[in-house]
Every structure is written in C-alpha cells, then in structure tokens.
Homo-oligomer: A and B are copies of this chain.
C-alpha cells in the first residue's frame, strides 16, 4: 500500500480521490428508471410481470408472486443448519441492541389545562428490498428487518428478484423468515421499487422502502422519495483505522483488507502516528494478499482508494478522520476511549484491537447499514428511528389560551395573517365584544 506523510497536500488529494467514488453521473439511467416507474404506476401488475420476464427472465404472475410456506421449507433444507443457529444468535444480539434505541411518546402537563407532547407511531407498512443472486447477504436482511420489527411496524414486506427458475436465494428466504418478514414477493429492480411505492394489484403500497440494490434500484428509490420515505442511498464502503505504535500491524492489515474486498470502489485508510507501524502494515497487507480469495478486487481498491498516512500528532490523525467521516472507524491506540471522545464524524466506531470491523458486520448488534462516503457528517446508522414517526400533541384549555391570546393575535397580525389572528380572537369575542 502507498505510504504518505499526512500534510495539507496529501490531505487535499486524498479527499478529492474519495469524492470521486461518489455516484454523480447516472443521468444515462434516469430516464429508463422513470419509464419503468411510470408504467408500474399506470399498469400495475401487468407491467411488473412484463419487466420481471424481461429483466429476470422469470415467469411470474399473481398466483406465484408470493413466496409460499413450501418454498420457505425448501430453503431451510438447502442451507446448513449450523448457519441457521448462527443467524439466530446474531439476530438476538441485533434485537437487544436495537431495543435500546426505542423512543416513547411523552407529554407534559400544566395545571392550567395545557398538555404538550410527542406521540411516537411506528410506520404501518415497510418494504425491504433484497438483491438477488450473488449480492444476497443474509446479514443485510437481518440488519434491515430487525429495526423495523423492534419499532413495531405492522407489516414488513420484502421484494427480491427471482432467478430464471422463479426461485429466490435460499439464504435470503431463511434470514427473512427468521427475522419475521410478513410477505416475500418475487420482484426486483426499479419495477419492484415502483410496486412498493405506488402499489399494484398484488403488492400493497408501503410507507418506507429500505435495503441495498444496484444503480437502478438506487435511482428508483431516489425518484419515489417524497411519495414514500427511503433509507439513505448507500455509496461505496470504507474503513479508516487510527493507530499508534501500540497497534498490532497484522490485525490492522487484516481489517483494512476486509473492507477493501467489498468492491473496487471500497476505500481502506490507515492513519498512524508511527512510521514503523505504517511500514509493517504495508508488509502484512502484501503477505495476506497472497492467500486471500478476493485479492484481485482488493488490489484494485487499494490501488485506487487505499492509503497509509503518517501523521505527526494524534490530533492531526483525528482531524483527518473527522474530515473523511468514514463509514467504519477503528481506533487501535493506547487510550482508545480518549480518542473516541474527539471523533465527531463516523458511522460506527470500533474501539480496541479486538473490535475488528467484521464483528460489527455480523454479530455485535449495532446496525451495519451505515452512512458512507463522508455522509457520516450528517447521517446516522439505520436504526429504530427510521421506522417510527412523530406527531406533536397540543391540548389547551380556555384558561390557558386566555392568558396569551392577545399575544398570538399580535404575532399573527405582524405577519399579516389575519385569519390566523381571527381563529384565536373568535374564542374570546363573547367576553370582549
């Protein structure tokens, strides 16, 4: 891996490099996606089945679009029962963590009859998109479904593209069934997003769509945003490790590689105060590359977006970490919790040499759907919050309103909104008129 001194020039280059990964120019696909969405909106199921035949080469109709209990049973037979046990244990950890995110309705009352509050309501229906084929990750199913489940969503529907044989990836079915998905539909791509957003004869409209997908899915989600809610449009993945001379170079190298294997746009960055560590990590990376099965992808992503930066001080290392706002941040230093207090921007913070990033991907409990590509400056991990919404509660008595009514009237009149003022005035006119 390339080793550079962290200075203003290398910093500028690095930040510009990372921004190149941002999905900017997809204009060429937007029109096609818009057409698919509008056909789904107008023609419903007919369009959905036609697109499924065109893109997935599968014959799906209203009688077989729903995955049956029989198909789920078959899926269990096809996967290792040891994996099912692991999925269950991971699921329990994820559930326990997300339970702690639950927010509750509250109110505050005064003895004059004022009641102010905030009512928390789970979303009614949520759609989870799951990619098909090779890109199907059971861990991703769990991470998207369980927070919705914990939030108390009434109905969780899943859509996932069928293979040519009309079947769905068995690990997806098992993970969905374990996590408590209510219905699974065989539909993929922009057409599935359209069906979830607008509804068809077979698929009922949902309130929010979450889950990863290819560029068509991402653009379709963006297009229907506002009509329904969506999770953030995920970009390429990244890891940043802050380490000092106490870090284990072999662990650091292995963790950088675990992120770099995702795809060629993935970024793996080490920022260290130790030149010795920098060199040792680079050597370990080379050593691992000889044995890892996905070394080709890894080499490309490291060439493009892999960096080892040597910082003069820990403060400089922390500054650049905050500027990059990495999806995953590992802190492998003498006093990692001290460093953590200075981190403003990161999706998930892994602390100490045993908190390696894959622990968070699969098992620890916190969500692995995290803000990417610098958006940790303002976005949060997927959470129970994504599956609830709030309504303000305002209750007032005559006594409470009477004390302030002339002030509200004056404020409304200062804004020239006389009907606003009138709606307060009218409640006291008998008295005053």
Residues of A within 8 A of B (CB): 80, 82-83, 86-87, 89-90, 97, 100-101, 103, 106, 108, 113-116, 118-119, 121, 123-124, 134, 137-139, 171, 207-208, 226, 228-229, 232-233, 250-251, 254-255, 257-258, 260-262, 288, 292-294, 298, 329, 336-337, 340, 343-367, 370-371, 375-381, 383, 385, 389-398, 400-401, 404, 407-408, 410-412, 414-424, 426-427
Contacts and interface: CB of A to CB of B under 8 A. Distances in A.
The A contact surface, by secondary structure, is mixed
Contacts of A261: 417-420
19 contacts: A103-B103, A171-B414, A251-B427, A257-B423, A258-B417, A294-B417, A294-B418, A337-B395, A345-B391, A347-B391, A348-B392, A354-B401, A355-B395, A355-B396, A357-B423, A358-B408, A358-B412, A371-B389, A381-B392
Given A119-B349, A349-B391, A360-B392, A288 B422 contact: yes
B351 A394 contact: yes
A407 B80 contact: no
Contact of A229 (B207, B379, B389): B379
A422 B352 contact: no
Given A288-B422, A377-B207, A396 B364 contact: yes
Contact of A376 (B83, B115, B385, B391): B391
A359 B226 contact: no
A367 B392 contact: yes
A363 B347 CA distance: 37
A83 B410 contact: yes
Contact of A366 (B116, B360, B423, B426): B116
Nearest to A171: B414
Contacts of A337: 395
Given A381-B392, A395-B352, A419 B116 contact: no
Contacts of A417: 258, 261-262, 294, 358
A353 to B, nearest CB: 8
In the A-B complex, list the 10 residue pairs whose CB atoms are closest, starting with the nearest: A366-B392, A229-B378, A261-B419, A351-B395, A348-B392, A380-B390, A258-B423, A254-B423, A358-B420, A254-B426
Given A207-B377, A391-B348, A394-B351, A419 B365 contact: no
B115 A427 contact: no
Contacts of A350: 394-395
Given A254-B422, A257-B419, A423-B254, A389 B379 contact: yes
A65 to B, nearest CB: 24
B364 A394 contact: yes
B254 A419 contact: yes
A359 B229 contact: no
A292 B116 contact: no
